[in-house]
Amino acid sequence: MTSKVIAGMISALFVLALLGWTLHAKAGQQQATFELSRDHKVDGVVLKAGKYLLVHQSHDAEHVGDACMFFYQPPRSSERNEVARLHCRVSSGAEVKGFTRRALPLPDGTLQLKSVQFAGSREVHELMAVN
């Protein structure tokens, strides 16, 4: 009987540790699903009109220049569904209620995606090429 109790406690600790690790990983992450009505370019990649999932992974100062913005074809963020990855520079702006993106028109009729801002945030993420 005591071995069942000990096994149950070990299982419970394992589940709690796994949950804590998952929550910690999600805490440094922002994401938004959005729809493009026109083609957009990001770092030379054309995002065709359609639905996308954007995930921002916070990173340490030692990883400056590494990719932290990942564009995926929904429904999930997996390597197979990844269409682009970029680095961002964060600046401060006014808080927005919904996910916001800013783009500039290009001569070929597409738009160059310049920055994004996640709902409820003051952080403006300026999109840049990965070093």
Q: What is the pLDDT of residue 62?
A: 47
* Residue 25 domain-assigned (yes or no): no
Q: What residue numbers bound the domain in which 54 lies?
A: 30-128
User: What percentage of the chain has pLDDT greater than the value 70?
Assistant: 74
Domain count, the chain: 1
Phi, psi of 127, rounded to the nearest 5 degrees: -80, 135
For 84-112, what is the mean pLDDT? 94
Residue 22 inside a domain? The answer is no
Residue 21 lies in a domain: no
Full-prediction pTM beyond 0.75?
Answer: no
Per residue in 39-91, pLDDT (tens digit) is 999 988 999 999 999 999 987 644 667 889 999 998 777 888 899 999 999 99
DSSP, collapsed to helix, strand or coil, labels residue 15 as helix
In a domain, 94, yes or no: yes
Domain annotation covers residue 98: yes
- pLDDT band, residue 129 (cuts 50/70/90): confident
62-93 exposure pattern, b = at least 16 Cβ within 10 A, e = fewer: eeeeebbbbbbbeeebeeeeeebbbbbeeeee
Looking at residue 2, its pLDDT comes to 74
**Residue 64 has what pLDDT?**
66
**65: Cα separation from own chain's centroid:** 15
The answer to which of 7-16, 24-33, 58-67, 74-83 has the lowest mean pLDDT is: 7-16
User: Distance (Å, rounded) from C-alpha 11 to C-alpha 76?
Assistant: 29
Q: Is residue 46 in some structural domain? A: yes
Average pLDDT over the chain, rounded to whole? 82
4 is a domain residue: no
Q: Quick check: is 93 in a domain? A: yes
